[in-house]
Amino acid sequence: MIKNVLFSYKLLAKLQKYLHISKKKSNFADYFTAKITFYYIVMEKIDELDRKILRIITQNARIPFKDVAEQCGVSRAAVHQRVQKMFDTGVIVGSGYQVNPKMLGYNLCALVGILLERGTMYQRVIEELNTIPEVVDAYYTLGAYSMMIKLHAKDDKHLMSLLTKLQEVPGVAKTETLTALEQQIGRMLPID
């Protein structure tokens, strides 16, 4: 049993290293194959206790591990070890507070479809988008656009300047902007 667990963690470490290297080389077929393999192995290692811990901490990220341990019927150390393992394997990718952009003066939310000149320019475009702090999400997509991004702007003038920046990014052929009026659903996936 211990040998299998050690083998799995060594394999995960190799896959994580491979994923990092593959991303740099832009070999997307190999990258996604390795990523799917990585997630398959990780999901095999998630047991019911891990899922119970995830259900609790995704509902309240500020809950003390002591309270999580009581709800799960295990020690605080066990919860800490499980959460750390889920961070290490990429099951948990972060934690923090959600801020209401409108309270910071960002009154507009826009979804922007981006058509690239060539799909191979994706990584370079992402690097450029990373320099624009108002861009909060970016997805490589199938369909009418090569990418879809979400950004926040303070007003119409600010949105126009952001769109101008986007259209000046090398590799961006065309953009189409949808303004989001109100977010109706914003939730985590269910943890079954």
CATH number at 139 reads 3.30.70.920
| Cβ neighbours of residue 82 closer than 8 Å, sequence gap 6 or more | 49, 50, 53
Residue after which a domain boundary falls, among 64, 88, 112:
88
* Whether residue 62 sits in one domain with residue 116: no
Residue after which a domain boundary falls, among 88, 111, 135:
88
* Whether residue 31 sits in one domain with residue 73: yes
* Segment (H or E) for 111: strand 108-116
Say which residue, 70 or 42, is predicted with more confidence: 70
Q: What is the mean pLDDT of residues 35-63?
A: 79
- Which CATH number do you get for residue 20? 1.10.10.10
Mean pLDDT score of the chain, rounded to an integer? 84
Nearest to 112 by CA among 133, 138, 142: 138
In a domain, 188, yes or no: no
**Degrees (nearest 5) of the Cα angle 104, 105, 108?**
120
| Cβ neighbours of residue 49 closer than 8 Å, sequence gap 6 or more | 72, 74, 78, 82
In terms of Cβ atoms closer than 10 Å to its own Cβ (0-12, 13-18, 19+), residue 59 is: exposed
pLDDT at 141 over 90: yes
* Whether residue 121 sits in one domain with residue 73: no
- Of the listed ranges 17-26, 39-48, 85-94, 178-187, the one predicted with least confidence: 17-26
For the residues of 60-83, what is the DSSP string, one character each? -TT--HHHHHHHHTS-HHHHHHHH
In a domain, 176, yes or no: yes
* Whether residue 61 sits in one domain with residue 122: no
pLDDT digits (tens, 9 = 90+) for 79-136: 999 999 999 888 998 887 888 999 999 999 999 999 999 988 999 999 999 999 999 9
Question: Across-strand partners of 148?
Answer: 113, 139
* Whether residue 120 sits in one domain with residue 71: no
pLDDT at site 19: 54
* Whether residue 115 sits in one domain with residue 52: no
* Segment (H or E) for 155: none
How many Å is the maximal CA-CA distance in the chain? 61
Residue after which a domain boundary falls, among 88, 109, 139:
88
* 142 phi, psi to nearest 5 deg: -105, 150
**Degrees (nearest 5) of the Cα angle 113, 38, 133?**
35
In a domain, 95, yes or no: no
In a domain, 185, yes or no: no
* Whether residue 106 sits in one domain with residue 55: no
Rounded to an integer, what distance in angstroms lies between the CA atom of residue 112 and that of residue 100?
Answer: 20
pLDDT digits (tens, 9 = 90+) for 155-188: 999 999 999 999 999 999 999 999 999 888 888 8
The range of the structural domain enclosing residue 170 comes to 101-180
Q: Dihedral sign for Cα 78, 81, 84, 89, please.
A: negative
Question: Across-strand partners of 111?
Answer: 150, 178
pLDDT at site 7: 43
pLDDT at 40 over 70: no
* Whether residue 7 sits in one domain with residue 75: yes
| Cβ neighbours of residue 87 closer than 8 Å, sequence gap 6 or more | none
* Overall domain count for the chain: 2
Q: Hey, what are 132's tokens?
A: 């624009």
